[in-house]
Amino acid sequence: MRYIVTGGAGFIGSNLAERLARDHEVVIIDDLSTGRRENLKNLIDHPGVTFVEGSVTDFDLLIDAFAGADGIFHQAAIASVPRSVEMPRETNAVNVGGTMNVLWAAKECGVPAVVAASTSAIYGDDPTFPKCETMAPTPLSPYAVSKLAGEYYGKVFADLYGIRTVFLRYFNVFGPRQDPKSEYAAVIPKFITRLLDEKPPTIYGDGEQTRDFIFVGDVVRANILAMESDASGVFNIAGGRRISLNELASVLSEITGIHRRPLYEPPRPGDVRDSLADISRARDAFGFSPGCTLDEGLYKTVTWFRDRSG
C-alpha cells in the first residue's frame, strides 16, 4: 500500500510512519513547526519512505502528494490547549482549514479512506464517566472546537463524497519522542525530564485532576487497525483507566528513583479536570484494546528519556 502520514515528523506521526514503513510505502508530510527531523532519523534513508516538507494548509502540495495513495493518516495539527487559547486563529487555520484541505484533496485524488487524529478534549468537563462517543460535546478551548469541527467535516465528506473517514479521539498519549521542551508539552515528558534533572515536577492545580493515559504504541496500532477495517465514524482511543497527577508524579518518582515534592501552580485555562474513556466502540468496530499497561509504558518512556540524556 501507499500511505500518507501528515504530521509524520511529530511524536505520534513519526511512530506511526516507522511502523507503516515495515510493510508499506510511506509519504511523510510535515512543515517541521513542531515536528522534528531527528524523529525521522530511522526513516530518512529508507527506500520506501518519502519526506515532503510542507503544511496541510498548502492545498496544491497535498494534491501532488496524495496522487495514487491508498489511505491517509492525518496527524498534523496544532495540538495544544494552552497554545490554542493564546493563538485561536492560527489553531483554526491549521486544525480546521488543514483538515478540510486533507479531506478535499483526498476526494480530488480518489483516496478511499482517511484516518484522522481527534481528541478527548471535545468532551470538556461533562461530569459523566466514562466518556462515550454518543455524549454531547462540551469543548472548553479553541483546540477542542477545532477538532470537533474536523470531525463534523469528516462525517459530511463521508456522506457526500463516499470517503471512509475515521476520527480517533485520543486521550492522553505518551511515550518515546514526545517533546518535553515546549512550553506546551504534555505532562509525562515534563515530569520525567524534570525528575531526571533532579528538579520537582510542576503541577497546574491541586494534582487531583485525573487523566486516562495511553502508550503511543497502542495509538499506532489503533490507527492501523482502523485503516485496515471497514469502520467509519468517531472512536475513543485510551487506556480505559484514570490516574491523578499526584499519583502519576509518585509513580514516576519510584521508576526514576528520584523523589522531589511537586511544585503546584494555578490551573491553566481550558484544561479539562478529569478524563476516562469507554473504549468499547473501538473494540467492537476494529478490535482495538490497549496492549501496554500504564506502568509498562512509563518504564519504556523513562528508559528512552534516560538513554537520550546520556
Domain residue ranges in the chain: 2-175+214-240+278-291
Say which amino acid occupies 121.
Answer: A
Cell numbers of 257, please?
A: 528513583
pLDDT for the residue numbered 310: 63
pLDDT for the residue numbered 183: 62
Q: Write down the CATH number for the domain with range 2-175+214-240+278-291.
A: 3.40.50.720
**Angle, alpha carbons 16-20-26 (nearest 5°):** 100
Tell how strand 164-170 and strand 210-211 pair up.
unpaired
Question: What is the number of other CB atoms lying within 10 angstroms of the CB of residue 195?
Answer: 22
Tell how strand 113-119 and strand 164-170 pair up.
parallel
Which residues of the chain are modeled with pLDDT < 70? 183-184, 310
pLDDT for the residue numbered 180: 86
* Residues labelled catalytic: 143
pLDDT for the residue numbered 271: 84
Residues written for the chain: 310
Burial class (CB in 10 A: 0-12, 13-18, 19+), 46: middle
Report pTM.
0.95
pLDDT for the residue numbered 262: 96
* Helix or strand (DSSP H, E) at 188: helix 187-196
Question: What is the number of other CB atoms lying within 10 angstroms of the CB of residue 137?
Answer: 15
